[in-house]
């Protein structure tokens, strides 16, 4: 039986989760004062980063509704703390909570670049675009000190390997030197996710992510450096952010995005209760409307994980969002098909100990 442990508002300052519910593989949790506390609790829940030696880095998927078949993630968990993040349930596999633990107890893989180099060097490896940032953001705050994402980018650049990046993090601008070089060879595309233009709503839903205006500035700077950028208006939250769709697309286009995409709010597993708790505190007057529309798109359920259905839902409301998105993209020139990332340039660079070619 899953047990919700609600945390005092002061201690979860700048965090989206209201609780630290046990994951589906964990025992129920309960906070008890046993008298052994030597110091008063800290005013806020601090971020902890634990190191994990990766045995492999490239993850493969066979999902027919994803545009890639492989991805890499240097981190587990994400300090940006977006309350709607569909990746939260993955923390349960670590024996951690998809709630506050997902935002505060992070896992970093310091040998990520080394393992990636080894995997790309294998004779049986077949090149195809790799996605970075599909589960947790590669440019979350701890990347500033650890530099694992940049190290992986350096490997991919050396191999001329195509990559698609998804992020909200402004730290991506630090790596413009690598990204611009790869873009000049048709090896990279970046997706910037913007859910709302309302800075107050963004701060409550995505407490440690850059503001919407800052993310638009990221698009502008990336595009100015020759890096193709896709605006991701995701997730669309029915009854909360859906009215902003056209404005979001117009702002992204003006900033320099050359393509766009959208996904409906997804509430897999533990995310549903975390989201509903958040709604009750931050948007109680809209909670019933939001959940009613979501359930209408999923046959009465909070979420339907079927391939071909999970990203958009079904029914008239989902179709209406699709029509609005298509019309706005056509009007703004965001509907043009992006060029495929190049795979023909891939090569394994010379490494120490290699035998030199005679000719």
pLDDT tens digits, one per residue of 200-217: 999 999 999 999 999 999
The rounded distance, in Å, linking the Cα atoms of 70 and 163 is 10
At CB < 8 A and 24+ separation, what contacts does 27-32 make? 28/1, 28/2, 28/3, 29/3, 29/5, 29/97, 30/3, 30/5, 31/5
4 pLDDT exceeds 80? no
Query: Quick one: average pLDDT of 120-140?
Result: 95
pLDDT of amino acid 1: 31
CATH topology of domain 53-73+110-332: pyruvate-formate lyase- activating enzyme (3.80.30)
Query: Quick one: average pLDDT of 276-292?
Result: 96
pLDDT of amino acid 261: 96
Angle between helices 245-255 and 316-332 (to 10 degrees): 30
The rounded distance, in Å, linking the Cα atoms of 328 and 333 is 8
**109-130 per-residue burial string, b: 16 or more CB within 10 A, e: under 16:** bebbbbbbbeebeeeeeebebb
Q: Which residues contact 313 (CB under 8 A, 6 or more apart)?
A: 264, 294, 297, 298, 304
Tens of pLDDT, residues 134-147: 889 999 999 999 99
356 pLDDT exceeds 50? yes
| Cβ–Cβ < 8 Å for 310, 86 | no
Query: Quick one: average pLDDT of 279-287?
Result: 95
Residue 83 backbone class (left: φ over 0; alpha: ψ -120 to 50; beta: rest): alpha
Confidence of residue 273 (pLDDT cuts 50, 70, 90): very high
pLDDT of amino acid 113: 98
pLDDT of amino acid 10: 44
Confidence of residue 3 (pLDDT cuts 50, 70, 90): very low
Give strand pairing partners of 132: 72, 165
Query: Quick one: average pLDDT of 316-326?
Result: 97
**Domain locations in the chain?**
53-73+110-332
The rounded distance, in Å, linking the Cα atoms of 158 and 66 is 26
Tens of pLDDT, residues 156-197: 999 999 999 999 999 999 999 999 999 999 999 999 999 999
7 pLDDT exceeds 90? no
The rounded distance, in Å, linking the Cα atoms of 125 and 214 is 38
- Other residues' Cβ atoms within 10 Å of the Cβ of residue 101: 24
């Amino acid at each position: 039986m899953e047990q919700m442990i609600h945390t005092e508002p002061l201690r979860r300052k700048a965090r989206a989760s209201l609780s630290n519910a046990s994951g589906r593989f964990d025992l129920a949790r309960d906070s008890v004062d046993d008298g052994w506390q030597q110091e008063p609790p800290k005013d806020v829940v601090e971020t902890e980063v634990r190191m994990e030696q990766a045995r492999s880095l490239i993850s493969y998927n066979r999902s027919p509704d994803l545009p890639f078949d492989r991805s890499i993630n240097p981190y587990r968990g994400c300090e940006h703390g977006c309350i709607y993040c569909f990746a939260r349930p993955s923390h349960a596999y670590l024996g951690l909570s998809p709630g506050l633990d997902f935002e505060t107890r992070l896992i970093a893989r310091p040998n990520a670049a080394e393992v990636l180099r080894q995997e790309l060097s294998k004779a049986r490896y077949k090149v195809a675009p790799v996605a970075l940032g599909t589960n947790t953001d590669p440019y979350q705050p701890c990347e500033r000190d650890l530099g694992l994402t940049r190290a992986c980018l350096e490997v991919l650049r050396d191999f001329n390997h195509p990559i698609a990046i998804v992020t909200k993090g402004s730290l991506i601008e630090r790596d413009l030197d690598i990204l611009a070089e790869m873009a000049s060879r048709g090896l990279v595309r970046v997706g910037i996710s913007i859910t709302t233009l309302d800075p107050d709503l963004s701060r409550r839903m995505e407490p440690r992510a850059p503001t919407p205006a800052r993310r638009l500035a990221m698009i502008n700077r990336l595009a100015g450096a020759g890096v193709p950028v896709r605006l991701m208006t995701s997730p669309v939250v029915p009854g909360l952010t859906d009215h902003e769709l056209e404005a979001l697309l117009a702002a992204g286009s003006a900033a320099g995005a050359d393509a766009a995409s959208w996904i409906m709010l997804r509430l897999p597993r533990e995310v549903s209760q975390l989201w509903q708790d958040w709604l009750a505190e931050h948007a109680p007057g809209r909670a019933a409307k939001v959940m009613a529309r979501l359930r209408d798109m999923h046959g009465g359920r909070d979420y339907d994980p079927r391939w071909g259905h999970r990203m958009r839902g079904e029914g008239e409301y989902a179709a209406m969002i699709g029509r609005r998105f298509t019309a706005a993209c056509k009007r703004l020139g965001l509907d043009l098909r992006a060029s495929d990332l190049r795979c023909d340039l891939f090569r394994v660079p010379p490494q120490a100990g290699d035998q030199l070619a005679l000719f």
